[in-house]
């Protein structure tokens, strides 16, 4: 199984970049049966079930890095494991590196990891991306697709193209409507 | 006198900051501060109340389902809407699976490393560890070969320099007291717990259609079509999968989590003397047995001054004792004003200022119940259960005290539960109770469906102004959502979350919140490595600024511990 995970909070503007890219991918591409594309929100420690036992994982999130908003940064597993986690106070603190560490120790870590990170412009309450991050959604999705194809997985452009309509912007249908 | 600040800077904005003043190796004063504005409820204003739960489950990535549940209950309460029995049972199973998952993860992956020294496990004799484990439990994986394999794995990590990732833990700290064999067992169980985290997640995925953000709720019920013979709906095969997963989790709780807590409790018995804090407790009832929420499988109520005879029960989703007595105070929080108000009447007008020890110092409001500071969480749940003679709670509490007492060679009374370690013990007791009750609700669901009832949903009707509240006894404690609806749109929405009750600041009368009060008197051996402070804070299972997740793959500094 190969998993594509969008991390971030859709109520906190640019922090929702990962889920926005997931919505884009699901609307524009069809994936092979061995690929799962999931908006995982901000799971902290609860990230491990999504990483465990996967052949490969591609993660999309915002990252702290030097550079202009919307610039993409790519990281591999070794880079993610380079820095030691520190004392934690809440279940949100242990992030990706701690989850990867625990799974590596358990022997169920994903074979390959790619983090596609975007530098955020504005993180605060709001359900839309800033223009710089909106412009980065398609390039980030392409990075994901390129990685999936490199891994030998299927990611086919959907015909006809569906509209990208995240529920937190477009609303949703109700049971009785 | 020295001052220690623990201030994680993981994200773009910080979240929980703890300041303590240490005098003569003990905490003399403490402040708990939420470092991020959490006015996320405002995003709900003007929206369709039927969608509120989808948004609220994004308040927090760890507590997703709990905010979804509290939200549908709040809107249903506003409309006076009952839900069908099937919907109630399905929700209850999701609640139970989430709680099992959350508590196991909290103990093994968040807080166990405050008590367990991973490096010391390398010195353990796996045969001795296996003998010790077999004296406490017949868990098949506690054998010498498997423990040796875990030890070899850790050794490999250390030799390859990979354990460097944990070098900022507190290995070798003078407050670490477990023998190497117990440390080895704990590391083995830390790794095994990952599997049970995965299984609990599967239960939520089967019933909730998706994880971590469930998709099956609706105001008025659930969206799980039921047909026991249809592949595409909730059917017998899926229900049996759920049962297998729940059975497996319950076995882990009984045979691993239970003995581990008893052993850690017995070997750190001095930690039953620290961390009492505020001995006023609040828990609401949960796992409703009817569509209206008047009968429950988990009891709720309040206890004051640590005296179980003061128990006052909270009996229904409508109970005025709860509805009328929740208020939030902003006297010491970064909001405009100094009022104490009922959630329906609150506004959220941020007004950030400097940190002032004697003034405003937190983004968290200070909730009060009937004017009192109260503590919420598993300890409150267990004490309320004991006070109301809730059979499974009493049984598991007694069994825990007996077993830990036997290992410690001492008689342990229920009074020791008012402590740092007591909160960990209570969390395990509650997990075991929920595991048992979950299986009962699975049975109730099957029996109800077999009677021919397949209804899952009652249609909501909106009209004029409607006010409601919904509570849920979440893993971290009492959660309540408060909603005002006008002409089918949300006019006001407030969430009073468990960690707000516990991590809130002082109030207008200067009374400390539960975290703050519980830290006073804690020992601190080394102000540069304030492990003991983290032990007490972690015992509450804090979950504060649940909003942001920006990774910092290049940065060195994740948390800042500053000793002045």
Confirm whether B262 is a catalytic residue.
Answer: no
Chain B partners within 8 Å of A86 (Cβ): 8, 168, 557-559
Homologous superfamily of domain range A2-164: HybD-like (3.40.50.1450)
pLDDT tens, A36-65? 999 998 887 788 899 988 999 999 998 888
Q: Which of A12-21, A87-96, A160-169, B102-111 has the lowest mean pLDDT?
A: A87-96
Chain B partners within 8 Å of A8 (Cβ): 549-550
Crossing angle for the helix pair B144-159 and B126-136, to the nearest 10 degrees? 130
User: pLDDT exceeding 90 applies to what percent of chain B?
Assistant: 73
Residue with token string 């975007």 = A118
Model ipTM value: 0.88
| Predicted pLDDT of residue B559 | 40
In angstroms, the separation between the Cα of residue B371 and the nearest Cα of chain A is 28
State the DSSP code for B211: S
Q: Which of B133, B135, B243, B114 is nearest to B189 (CA)?
A: B133
Do residue A48 and residue B110 have CB atoms under 8 angstroms apart?
A: no
Q: What are the structural domain ranges in chain A?
A: 2-164
Confirm whether B476 is a catalytic residue.
Answer: yes
In angstroms, the separation between the Cα of residue B40 and the nearest Cα of chain A is 7
SS (H, E, C) chain A: CEEEEEECCCCEHHHHHHHHHHHHHHHHEEECCCEEEEEEECCHHHHHHHHCCCCEEEEEEEECCCCCCCCEEEEEHHHHCCCCCCCCCCCCCCCHHHHHHHHHHHCCCCCEEEEEEECCCCCCCECCCCHHHHHHHHHHHHHHHHHHHHCCCCEEECCCCCCCCCHHHHCCCCCCC
Strand-pairing partners, residue A59, are A5, A115
Chain A partners within 8 Å of B162 (Cβ): 81, 101, 104
Confirm whether B546 is a catalytic residue.
Answer: yes
State the DSSP code for B452: T
Chain A partners within 8 Å of B201 (Cβ): 46, 49
Do residue B61 and residue A84 have CB atoms under 8 angstroms apart?
A: no
Residue A145 above 60 pLDDT? yes
State the DSSP code for B457: B
Q: What is this structure's pTM? A: 0.93
| Predicted pLDDT of residue B479 | 96
Q: Is the dihedral of CA B502, B505, B510, B512 positive or negative?
A: positive
Confirm whether B309 is a catalytic residue.
Answer: no
pLDDT one digit per residue (tens) for chain B, 564 residues: 777 777 653 332 347 888 999 999 999 999 998 877 666 778 899 999 999 999 998 887 778 899 999 999 999 999 999 999 999 999 999 999 999 999 998 899 888 888 998 889 999 999 999 999 999 999 999 999 999 999 999 898 878 766 654 555 566 788 899 999 999 999 999 999 999 989 998 999 999 988 888 999 999 999 999 988 888 889 999 999 999 999 999 999 999 999 999 999 999 999 999 999 999 999 999 999 999 999 999 999 999 999 999 999 999 999 999 999 999 999 999 989 999 999 999 877 888 888 999 999 998 899 999 999 999 999 999 999 999 999 999 999 999 999 999 999 999 999 999 999 999 999 999 999 999 999 999 999 999 999 999 999 999 999 999 999 999 999 999 999 999 999 999 999 999 989 889 999 999 999 999 999 999 999 998 887 888 988 998 899 887 654 344 455 554 333 444 444
Phi, psi of A119 (to 5 degrees): -80, 120
Residue A150 above 60 pLDDT? yes
Domains and CATH numbers, chain B: 1-36+512-564 (3.30.390), 37-325+370-490 (1.10.645.10)
């Amino acid at each position: 199984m190969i998993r594509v995970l969008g991390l971030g909070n859709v109520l906190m503007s640019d922090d929702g970049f990962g889920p926005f890219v997931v919505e884009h991918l699901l609307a524009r591409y069809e994936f092979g049966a061995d690929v799962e594309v999931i908006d995982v929100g901000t799971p902290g420690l609860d990230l491990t079930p999504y990483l465990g036992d996967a052949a490969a994982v591609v993660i999309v999130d915002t990252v702290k890095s030097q550079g202009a908003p919307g610039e993409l940064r790519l990281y591999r597993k070794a880079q993610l494991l380079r820095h030691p986690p520190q004392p934690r106070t809440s279940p949100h603190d242990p992030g990706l590196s701690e989850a990867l560490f625990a799974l590596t120790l358990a022997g169920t870590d994903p074979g390959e990891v790619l983090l596609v990170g975007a530098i955020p412009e504005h993180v605060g309450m709001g359900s839309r991306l800033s223009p710089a991050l909106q412009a980065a959604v398609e390039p980030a999705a392409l990075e994901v697709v390129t990685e999936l194809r490199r891994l030998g997985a299927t990611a086919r452009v959907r015909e006809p193209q569906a509209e990208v309509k995240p529920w937190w912007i477009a609303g949703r249908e109700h049971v009785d409507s | 006198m020295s001052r220690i600040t623990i201030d994680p800077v993981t994200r773009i904005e910080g979240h929980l900051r703890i300041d303590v003043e240490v005098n003569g190796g003990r905490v003399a004063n403490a402040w708990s501060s939420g470092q991020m504005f959490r006015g996320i409820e405002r995003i709900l204003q003007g929206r369709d109340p039927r969608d509120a739960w989808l948004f609220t489950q994004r308040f927090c990535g760890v507590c997703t389902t709990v905010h979804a549940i509290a939200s549908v209950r709040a809107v249903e309460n506003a409309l006076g809407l009952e839900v069908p029995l099937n919907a109630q049972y399905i929700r209850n199973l999701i609640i139970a699976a989430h709680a099992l998952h959350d508590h196991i993860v909290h103990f093994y992956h968040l807080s166990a490393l405050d008590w367990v020294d991973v490096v010391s496990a390398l010195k353990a004799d796996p045969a001795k560890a296996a003998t010790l484990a077999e004296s406490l439990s017949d868990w098949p994986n506690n054998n010498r070969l498997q423990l040796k394999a875990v030890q070899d794995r850790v050794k490999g990590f250390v030799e390859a320099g990979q354990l460097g990732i944990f070098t900022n833990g507190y290995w070798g700290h003078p407050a670490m007291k477990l023998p190497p064999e117990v440390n080895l067992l704990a590391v083995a169980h830390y790794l095994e717990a990952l599997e049970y985290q995965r299984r609990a997640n599967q239960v939520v995925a089967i019933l909730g259609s998706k994880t971590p953000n469930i998709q099956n709720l609706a105001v008025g019920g659930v969206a799980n079509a039921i047909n026991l013979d249809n592949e595409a709906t909730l059917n017998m095969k899926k229900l049996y999968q759920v049962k297998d997963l729940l059975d497996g989790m319950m076995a882990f709780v009984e045979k691993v989590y239970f003995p581990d807590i008893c052993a850690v409790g017995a070997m750190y018995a001095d930690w039953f003397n620290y961390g009492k804090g505020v001995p006023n407790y609040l828990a609401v009832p949960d796992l409703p047995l009817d569509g209206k929420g008047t009968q429950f499988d988990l009891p709720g109520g309040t206890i004051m001054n640590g005296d179980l005879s003061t128990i006052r029960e909270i009996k229904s989703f409508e109970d005025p004792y709860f509805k009328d007595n929740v208020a939030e105070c902003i006297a010491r929080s970064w909001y405009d004003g100094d009022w104490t108000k009922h959630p329906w009447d609150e506004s959220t007008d941020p007004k950030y200022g400097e940190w002032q020890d004697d003034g405003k110092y937190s983004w968290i409001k200070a909730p009060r119940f009937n004017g009192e500071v109260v503590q919420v969480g598993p300890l409150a749940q267990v004490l309320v259960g004991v006070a109301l003679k809730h059979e499974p709670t009493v049984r598991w509490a007694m069994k825990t005290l007996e077993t830990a007492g036997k290992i410690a060679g001492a008689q342990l009374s229920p009074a020791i539960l008012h402590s740092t370690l007591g909160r960990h013990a209570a969390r395990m007791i509650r997990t075991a109770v929920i595991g048992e009750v979950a299986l009962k609700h699975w049975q109730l669901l099957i029996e109800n469906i077999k009677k021919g009832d397949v209804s899952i949903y009652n249609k909501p009707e909106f009209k004029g102004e409607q006010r409601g509240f919904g509570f849920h006894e979440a893993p971290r404690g009492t959660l309540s959502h408060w909603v005002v609806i006008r002409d089918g749109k949300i006019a006001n929405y407030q969430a009073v979350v468990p960690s707000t009750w516990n991590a809130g600041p002082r109030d207008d009368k200067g009374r400390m919140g539960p975290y703050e009060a519980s830290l006073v008197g804690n020992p601190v051996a080394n102000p540069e490595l304030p492990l003991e402070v983290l032990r007490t804070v972690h015992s509450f299972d804090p979950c504060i600024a649940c909003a942001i997740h920006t990774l910092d793959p290049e940065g060195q500094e994740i948390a800042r511990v500053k000793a002045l």
